[in-house]
Structure 1
C-alpha cells in the first residue's frame, strides 16, 4: 500500500511538471523549470505558477534555495510544496528554501506550487514568471554551483477582459470594462524647474478617446489657465498659448474627461509641478574665502528672490570635520545663520547648503552650494 501511495505521488508530481506551460533551464548538474498551468488568463482569474527543481546528477545537494518572485500584476494567494512538511517559501522576498536534494529517486525532484490571482492592472499584458537557483552546494566539491544553472522563465498572456459571473471562458466573459490607466506624465508629478513653455503629455496604458474633456490647469491661486487638449493613440497632449508664470501648478483630469475606446471613463486624477528656475545666491557675508572673520560672526546669505524653508539641511563644519550647532532664520530673500558658541580661532569653516535645503516661493529648490571662511587667530 505504501508503494502504491508513493508511485501515485510521483505520478502526480510529473503531471504537474509537464502539464505546466514553461521553459526549463538544464545543465549537466541539474534542472530548474517554471511554468503557468495555462497560457492565457483574464483579470480576476486564479492561476498556478509551478516551480520544479531536479537533481539527476550523481551527487547530493545541500543548502538549495531558489528565487521565484511573484510577477507584477499577480496577487499572491497561497503556496504548497507537495508532500513536504516544510513549506518554506516567502512570497514577499520570492525565496524558496528547498533545503537538501538527494540524487537518487527518493529525493531528486521537488516542486513548489504558487497560487496567484490576476490583478486589474495586468489587463492586456504579458506577465513573465522567472526562477533561478541562488544557492546550491555540491556535496562532493563543497562549492556553490548555482551560477552554473541558467534561470528559467514562462509567460502568461492576460486578455483585456474580465471573468464575469459565469466564470471560465464561456458566457461569463465580458467585454473590456477596465478604465484607462495613466502610466506616465511629462512633467512628472511634483517636478520642479519646469520651463514656462512646457507642453504637457499624459500617457495611458491603452488607446484613448475624448470624453467630456474637462481638463484643467490651475495655478496656486486657483486661477484656471486656458489650455487646448488633443488625443493621439494613447497620449493626451495639453498646450497653453501663454507662457506660464513662475509658480506652482496643478493639472486636473476630471472623471470622464478621457475614456478608452470601449467607453470606460478615466477616474479623477491630478498632478502637480512647479515652473521657474533654481535659486541663485547673489551675496554672502562673510564672503567666500574671507579671512580674519570674527568668531561670533552672524552669517547671512542673500538670494535673487524671496525664499522659504525646504528640507533645511544646512551645515556649518570646521576643518576637522566637526559640525557646529546653528540656528536658521529666513526673512524675505535672506537666510541668516547663527551659532551660540564662539567659533574656534584661526580655523577654516565651510557653510553647506544641501540641495533642496531652501526653495523659492514656487518650490524650486536650491542646488548644492557651499562657501568657506577662516576665523581670526584671537
Structure 2
C-alpha cells in the first residue's frame, strides 16, 4: 500500500519534469532560430511554368557566406529521385553567391525535364550570416515547381521612360520596361552627357537601380543632371538577365536611348548690388553682395559663392579694379 501511494505521489513530479524539459527544449530551439531568413524564392513556390533551363535562387535578408558543410538537393516529386546534388562548401560551378544576398543555383544541363515536378532542399547550417546559421529548407513542399520547355529567348525592352527623344526633369528617374521579369546581374548603366561626354556610371547592383525581379527597372541618377542638356544611356551586355539567365543585349551606342532635360524651374537671379558690370566699386571696403531671385530660395546642402578678381583697367594712371562674383 505504501508503494502504491509513493507511485501516485511521483506522477505529478514526473509530469512536471516532462513539461519543464519540453519547455527548455522549446526555448533552446527558439534561441537557435536566428540566422539569415529566405525572403524570395526564384522561381516562387508552386510556380507552374518554370523553363527546363531555369536558374534557381534564394534571396536572404542579410549577407550570406558558405558554411563548411551542407548540400543543395533537387528532387523529382513523383519518384523522389535526386536529380541534382551540389556541395555548398566546394561547388563553385553550380552554386554562387551574389552581392545582393542571393544564393544562385544552376542545375546541370538536362537535370530538369519538361512535364515533371521538382522540389529543392538545403541542408540546415550550410549557409551563414551575421546573425547565425540558415535554418535550411527541409520540407518537400516548401519549394516546389513544375517544369516546361526550355527558354532560349533573351529579354527585350518594351518601353523606355522617358522615351527616346523626349525630355524629363533634371532630377527625374529613368525606367526600362522589359517583356518579362529580369534580374540585375553585373555591369553598369552609363548616362552620358552628349556635349562633353561626361558620364555617370551606375552599377546595376547599386541602390540607385531598383526593380530587380520585376518587368520594370528604375534608375535614379545619384548626381543631378544638368538642365537643358542632351544625354544618351548605355547599358552593358548582360547587365540584366531573365529567369533562366538569358542576357539582355544592352545598349552600346548613342541615339538608341537619348533624352534631354528640361530647363531649370528657377530663373537666373538679378544682381542688385553691385550691378552686373558695375565700375568703380571700392574693393577695399566691405561689400555686401545682393542677389534677387524670382521665387523663394534657401541654402542648399553643398556649394560655394566665390568672388574673383576680374579685369584690371588703367585710366590716366589711376587703377580701377572691377570685381566679379562667380556663383556655384
Instruction: Give the TM-score of the pair, scaled to structure 1.
Output: 0.28
Between structures 1 and 2, the one with greater strand share: 1
